[in-house]
Amino acid sequence: MTVSVRALLLSVSAATCAIGAANPALAQTAATPPGPEVTSLGEIVVTARRSAENLQRVPVAVSVLNSQDIENRRITGASDIQYHAPSLVVSLDPLGGSTAPVFELRGQVPTLGTDDTVVTYFGDVPVNSRAFSGGLFDLASIQIIRGPQGTLFGKNSTGGAVVFTPEKARTDAFSGFADATVGNYSLFQVSGGVNIPLIRDKLAVRLSGEIVKRNGFTRNLGGPDGADRNYGVYRASVVATPTEELKNETEFQYFHGRQRQNPFIISSINVPLITFIDGPGIAALVQSQFNHQQQLGVRTIDYSLAKNNDDNDVYIGANTTIYHLGGVTLKNVAGYVDMSPRVYLSQTSTNWALIDVRQNKYYNSFSDEMQASGETDTLKWIVGAFYSKEKTKTHQDAYLFSPFLTTITDSSDRYTSKALFAQGTYDFTKLGLEGVKFTAGLRRTWDSRTGVLNGTNVLPFPPRVNPEVKNTRDYANWSWTLGIDWQVNSDLLLYVASRHSYKAGGLNLVSSVEPPALQTYLPEKLTDIEIGAKTTAHLGDVIIRSNVAAYRGWYKNMQFGELANCDGHGAEYVINAAQGTPKGVEFETEAAITRDFHVGGFYDLTLGHFNKFQLIQPPGCQTIGFGENLNGADFGNISHHTVGLNASYTVPLEAPNEAIVVSGNFYWRSDRRGNATQGIDSFIRGYSLFDARVDYNNIGGRNISMGAWVHNLGNKTYTSFRNNVLELSGYDAQTYGDPRTYGVDIRYKF
């Protein structure tokens, strides 16, 4: 039996271990630990399974950026993270704009109006991703966990989780930091923090904050520039350890942003369609504005219709209580989020609105998770319960082919989720299978959703007030995890895992005349299988750490946006349109060539296609546009290949810890192919970016450092988002990524 289990693991991981065959050092069974004067790669600790573990011994595909990575690579916003982890793409919400980040993993993108496929966390508390539009400072780590989640993490998701862990107060020492940065586009950024142990080893508080201001990189001749930065983030952490058994951690964060959208730049128009909708006079006006935009290029607009604002206030509170009761650990995680984004987004930045939206939201959520966990020589286990309640109220004004108000919509959504879960890992070493472990987890979730819609059609006159529409839907679903891993030796882990999870269903709160078949949509479900290997190789003084994972998934009830006209009212509905198959390979590596020279990088191949695609067309409704049959078509939102490379070289100087560090980061993404639906699934050209940085650390042996940095050194112009609706709405518009930015900073730590 011992031979058969090991043979199974070796066979399913043969492809991932082929890299080791080309380099026999990867299979070494013993290595001398590096001394203080030789190369080393520090241990990376992750919490991907709700406990602190060594990254190289966790059978999960996870990437980690620690506090030093975040600082050195100047990760200041959500979109910056994607350049440093495989499979991750951070795009924008088509209605929420450039400061409403949408996290994508393994080609899985949420359909407009649905829940996230990748859930974001502030510590252990699930929060709306918009909370991370800025203010990524004073963080202990960012963890990117790929694959379906549910049996351990707070909310079910099909794509994965991104966990932002703030620095917590420490009870052992007084410390702090202060940073200041200036750069082009009048960038001014200051941040600082102080850690105060009020009662040594018993009670401490940490206070920190950051203020960022920067002019927009898209000049506006007719109003405020686009894509500026203007926000503040303020955070407090309190940690109390009254006894050895009891610990309580409380965090509070407030984000205050008053910013402008990264504007859409119109790149093509459908004059016949605009003429049909608005008449020849308006078509001529739009044509004139389009011609003017082509002369201005992609970094300048002439837009005065609205201020294109993105105002947001976010409050986050989290409390974690841990109590060790003998061999059992009890843990409770409570969280509260209150958010009020207010945006105006023009889809074309023209002074005659083709599709413009003003949207004010109010969102709050409360969640609580209770856990009990323990560990023996052979079994590591956790059981628990999860509860969350979310409320969203939305007021939306839509300007459709006119700068005059077309529709007003008020809606509310209440989403309650309850779950019970358990997971265990059994070690077979005592049964003769040394290093072999089996993991099984199960979760049952009960979801309830209630929505209310009240809409007023302003045009044509006189206004027509639609009756209130209310709908409720309940769901119950299973999530599970099965996996087996083999720690072959201290330097090699092999694993195979299969997981099943889902993303919640919901309600289409878009029209009071929609037929019953379009009023609700079901959860989408994903089952996957993943094989992986984690290795550490020692080639003399050189240390190489590499992780690789290959996966394949089976999607059911995929949520898809369908544009339809029902009894003269056009709207976009979320439906369950397809089955699909995501698959791919992810590879990460880092190497300490010498004590002072480190390199690293990643590559991922992301694939996916639809199966059995079918739109819904109830009586009285007619689908609009392309995409009625996507059987066999690729997912329209993925780039097949991405590559990231990084390197740093340290030149030690005379004083203790004094050094000059030169570092750089390269990122390349292949073309996004798009598919027949166009819209947000349209073709986007691939691009590459190069960042560089020079730091002078601990000047003269003191705790002060200076650095100079540049992002997008080649000043590449690249599309970050595209909405090609030429045949539906008469335009093709794009947003563009940041141009070359540069600056200097000074840092002081005590």
Q: What is the pLDDT of residue 248?
A: 97
Nearest residue to 304 via CA among 416, 382, 226: 226
- Report cis status (omega within 30 of 0) of the bond before 462: yes
What is the per-residue pLDDT across 297-318, written as a single tens digit (0 to 9) for each?
Answer: 999 999 999 989 999 999 999 9
Q: What is the pLDDT of residue 728?
A: 86
Q: What is the pLDDT of residue 681?
A: 84
Residue 613 clears pLDDT 50, i.e. is over it:
yes
Tally of domains in the chain = 1
Q: In the predicted model, what is the mean pLDDT of residues 454-483?
A: 79
Of all residues in the chain, the percent with pLDDT exceeding 90 is 72
Pairwise pLDDT comparison (634 vs 338), residue with the higher score:
338
Query: Confidence class of residue 462 from pLDDT cuts 50, 70 and 90?
Result: low
Least confident of 153-167, 483-497, 581-595: 153-167
Q: What is the pLDDT of residue 19?
A: 35
Amino acid residing at 555: Y
Q: What is the pLDDT of residue 676?
A: 79
What is the per-residue pLDDT across 473-516, written as a single tens digit (0 to 9) for each?
Answer: 999 999 999 999 999 999 999 999 999 999 999 998 877 777 88
DSSP 350: -
Residue 246 clears pLDDT 70, i.e. is over it:
yes
DSSP 684: B
Task: Look at residue 472 and tell me if it is in a domain.
Answer: no
Q: In the predicted model, what is the mean pLDDT of residues 171-187?
A: 96
Q: For residue 109, count CB atoms less than 10 angstroms from its CB and return exposed for 0-12, middle for 13-18, buried for 19 or more.
A: buried
What is the per-residue pLDDT across 520-572, written as a single tens digit (0 to 9) for each?
Answer: 999 999 999 999 999 999 999 999 999 999 999 999 999 988 888 887 777 88
Angle at 494 between CA 161 and CA 599, to 5 degrees: 70
23: left (phi over 0), alpha (psi -120 to 50) or beta: beta
Q: What is the pLDDT of residue 456?
A: 66
- What is the rounded distance in angstroms from the CA atom of residue 509 to the CA atom of residue 496? 41
Task: Look at residue 156 and tell me if it is in a domain.
Answer: yes
Average pLDDT score over the chain: 89
User: In which domain, by residue range, is 336 found?
Assistant: 2-466+482-749
- What is the rounded distance in angstroms from the CA atom of residue 58 to the CA atom of residue 40? 20
Tokens of 511: 């029209």
Of all residues in the chain, the percent with pLDDT exceeding 70 is 92
Query: Confidence class of residue 31 from pLDDT cuts 50, 70 and 90?
Result: very low
Q: What is the pLDDT of residue 619?
A: 87
Task: Look at residue 474 and tell me if it is in a domain.
Answer: no
- Indicate which CATH number applies to the domain containing 323: 2.40.170.20
Contact 87, 131 (CB under 8 A): no
Residue 13 clears pLDDT 60, i.e. is over it:
no
Contact 316, 335 (CB under 8 A): yes
Task: Look at residue 475 and tell me if it is in a domain.
Answer: no
Residue 7 clears pLDDT 60, i.e. is over it:
no
Nearest residue to 84 via CA among 63, 102, 106: 63
What is the per-residue pLDDT across 408-438, written as a single tens digit (0 to 9) for each?
Answer: 888 999 999 999 999 999 999 999 999 999 9
Q: For residue 399, count CB atoms less than 10 angstroms from its CB and return exposed for 0-12, middle for 13-18, buried for 19 or more.
A: buried
Task: Look at residue 476 and tell me if it is in a domain.
Answer: no
Q: In the predicted model, what is the mean pLDDT of residues 316-328?
A: 95
Task: Look at residue 561 and tell me if it is in a domain.
Answer: yes
Q: Residues 715, 718, 720, 723: what is their CA dihedral angle, to the nearest 10 degrees?
A: 150
Pairwise pLDDT comparison (250 vs 466), residue with the higher score:
250
Task: Look at residue 199 and tell me if it is in a domain.
Answer: yes
Task: Look at residue 477 and tell me if it is in a domain.
Answer: no
Pairwise pLDDT comparison (323 vs 136), residue with the higher score:
323
Name the 3-class secondary structure at 564.
Answer: strand
Q: What is the pLDDT of residue 45?
A: 83
Instruction: Give the list of residues 6+ apart from residue 431 with CB closer than 8 angstroms, or none.
Output: none
66: left (phi over 0), alpha (psi -120 to 50) or beta: beta
Query: Confidence class of residue 461 from pLDDT cuts 50, 70 and 90?
Result: low
The sign of the dihedral angle between the CA atoms of 562, 566, 568, 569 is: negative
Query: Confidence class of residue 25 from pLDDT cuts 50, 70 and 90?
Result: very low
What is the per-residue pLDDT across 93-143, written as a single tens digit (0 to 9) for each?
Answer: 877 776 788 999 999 888 888 899 999 999 999 998 888 877 789 999 999
Tokens of 279: 């008449």
